[in-house]
């Protein structure tokens, strides 16, 4: 610790290990605190106190806080503290509210400029870094899709919209099936599974999506699992190239009415975003109007181009090589993916084998080595030790050391 120039830790870890760090003579001049808007005020002060004063003065010279108060605040489990004590306000947010001078980062480099338009209305003068216009990945279309982002209207599935198996455990089977079908479609086209994440606004829906994935995708190595299935709140601070977002609710907007949660949900994707929800409900919510006005400018039925393979050379805005197919609902998407999979099974299998050949070769070598070891052990003969007669003294036993293979 004394020789390290940079040490990284969480605020929670600094609280748990404070005594040890102080006893080690931990010294530092600068603190860089990331995601400051998601840290409780009391937690914010702990990293400032990990060293003893020198000659009555604190050695700390610089404290840099990086955060976004337009995204979700710290998580407070106790509802009384959350609602009536303003405990969810971070020190970062307090400083901004009190007018403490700040440095505004006014350019983003994560997402396509078109996707960034879904949330840049929440920020003052938010533009794009030069590489967003220069890199080819931001200019190429998403293989198999007409649009780089799309809001998809999901109506009742099997006569039901949102359900609550237990209080506040919201689920929507139609959106879960639709989301998994989109994931399977992308995998058939060749999208890497680790480039796709599925997020939702409720824990119940995240669990339901996991169940559907385990049933339909996980047993088949040609599909596998997406990189992550999570809630919007837990996914804050993370990103992926392609995001499938499920909004779940069909009777009331729920906690998505908090614009900060909407900003987090829409800003996780880099190259592709597919939002599943009840358009008539969310488009009429005043707080969500700026984002949904943009989303609703495109068709609310998913448009796909299934004869493309990932990656494509088609540019954004360029006409697709065939007439797009309009998906009517979750049932239609599921049926289409089933037929599409049977048609492309052999090509998927060969592609998978090509991608996994190195891994399979290593597995075969390991299995062969293990089999040879087992054969060697079986060939060893254990000689029985003759039992001495009762009237003869037992000979002294020699201690033998044997190498274990």
- Tokens 């590489």 found at: 131
Dihedral-angle region of residue 276 (phi above 0 means left; psi in -120 to 50 means alpha; beta otherwise): beta
What lies within 8 Å, CB to CB, of 349 at 6+ separation is: 222
The separation between CA 37 and the C-alpha centre of its own chain, rounded to angstroms, equals: 20
DSSP state of 365: H
Q: What is the pLDDT of residue 231?
A: 97
| Segments in 135-172 forming alpha helices (H) | none
Q: CA-to-CA distance for 370 and 366, rounded, in angstroms?
A: 6
Q: CA-to-CA distance for 364 and 102, rounded, in angstroms?
A: 58
247 in Cβ contact with 232 (< 8 Å): no
pTM: 0.83
194 in Cβ contact with 225 (< 8 Å): no
Rg for the chain (alpha carbons), in Å?
29
241 in Cβ contact with 272 (< 8 Å): yes
- Tokens 């530092």 found at: 28
Peptide bond into 370 cis (omega under 30): no
Written as six digits, the tokens of 38 are: 């998601």
Q: Which residue from 53, 48, 18 is spatially nearest to 33, judged by alpha carbons?
A: 48
Q: What is the pLDDT of residue 357?
A: 66
Q: What is the pLDDT of residue 403?
A: 42
- Tokens 């004394």 found at: 2
Q: What is the pLDDT of residue 387?
A: 54
Q: CA-to-CA distance for 64 and 198, rounded, in angstroms?
A: 33
Q: In Å, what is the CA distance from 106 to each residue of 26, 115, 124, 294?
A: 36, 16, 7, 21
- Tokens 């992308």 found at: 186
Q: CA-to-CA distance for 182 and 302, rounded, in angstroms?
A: 10
333 in Cβ contact with 181 (< 8 Å): yes
Q: CA-to-CA distance for 159 and 149, rounded, in angstroms?
A: 28
Regions of the chain with pLDDT less than 70: 1, 352, 354-363, 376-405
Q: What is the pLDDT of residue 352?
A: 67
Q: CA-to-CA distance for 228 and 198, rounded, in angstroms?
A: 6
Q: CA-to-CA distance for 106 and 111, rounded, in angstroms?
A: 14
Please list the residues that pair with 244 across neighbouring strands. 198, 274
Which domains are seen in the chain, by residue range? 11-97 (3.40.50.300), 138-356 (3.40.50.300)
Strands 325-326 and 303-304: antiparallel
Q: CA-to-CA distance for 178 and 174, rounded, in angstroms?
A: 6
Q: What is the pLDDT of residue 53?
A: 83
18 in Cβ contact with 46 (< 8 Å): yes
What lies within 8 Å, CB to CB, of 158 at 6+ separation is: 173, 174
Backbone angles phi, psi at 275, to 5 degrees: -105, 120
What lies within 8 Å, CB to CB, of 151 at 6+ separation is: 275, 277, 279, 292, 295, 296, 298, 300
Q: What burial letters (b/e) apply to 343-367, b meaning 16+ CB within 10 Å?
A: ebeeebeeebeeeeeeeeeeeeeee
Please list the residues that pair with 127 across neighbouring strands. 107
């Amino acid at each position: 610790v004394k020789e390290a120039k940079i040490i990284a830790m969480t605020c929670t870890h600094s609280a748990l290990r404070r005594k040890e760090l102080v006893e080690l003579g931990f010294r530092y001049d600068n603190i860089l605190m990331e995601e400051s808007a998601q840290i409780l005020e009391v937690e914010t002060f702990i990293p400032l106190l990990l060293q003893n004063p020198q000659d009555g003065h604190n050695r700390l010279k610089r404290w840099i806080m990086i955060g976004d108060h337009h995204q979700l605040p710290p998580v407070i489990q106790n509802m009384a503290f959350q609602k009536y004590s303003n405990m969810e306000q971070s020190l970062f947010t307090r400083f901004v509210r009190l007018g403490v001078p700040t440095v505004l980062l006014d350019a983003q480099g994560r997402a396509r400029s078109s996707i960034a338009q879904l949330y840049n209305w929440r920020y003052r003068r938010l533009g794009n870094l030069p590489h967003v216009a220069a890199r080819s990945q931001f200019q190429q279309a998403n293989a198999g899709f007409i649009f780089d982002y799309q809001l998809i209207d999901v109506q009742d599935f099997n006569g039901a919209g949102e359900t609550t198996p237990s209080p506040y455990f919201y689920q929507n089977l139609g959106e879960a099936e639709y989301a998994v079908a989109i994931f399977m479609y992308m995998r058939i086209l060749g999208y890497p599974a680790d480039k796709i994440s599925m997020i939702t606004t409720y824990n119940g829906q995240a669990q339901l999506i996991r169940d559907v994935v385990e049933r339909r995708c996980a047993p088949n190595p040609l599909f596998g699992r997406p990189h992550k299935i999570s809630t919007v709140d837990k996914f804050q601070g993370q990103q992926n190239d392609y995001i499938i977002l499920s909004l779940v609710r069909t009777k009331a907007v729920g906690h998505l009415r908090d614009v900060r949660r909407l900003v987090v949900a829409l800003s996780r994707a880099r190259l592709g975003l597919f939002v599943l929800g009840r358009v008539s409900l969310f488009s009429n919510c005043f707080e969500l109007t700026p984002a949904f006005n943009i989303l609703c400018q495109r068709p609310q039925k998913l448009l796909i181009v299934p004869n493309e393979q990932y990656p494509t050379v088609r540019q954004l805005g360029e006409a697709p090589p065939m007439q797009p197919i309009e998906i009517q609902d979750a049932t239609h998407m599921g049926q289409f993916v089933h037929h599409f999979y049977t048609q492309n099974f052999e090509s998927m299998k060969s592609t998978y084998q090509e991608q996994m050949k190195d891994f399979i070769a290593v597995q075969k070598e390991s299995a062969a080595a293990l089999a040879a070891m087992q054969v060697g052990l079986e060939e060893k003969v254990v000689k029985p030790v003759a039992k001495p007669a009762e009237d003869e003294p037992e000979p002294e036993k020699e201690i033998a050391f044997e190498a274990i293979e």
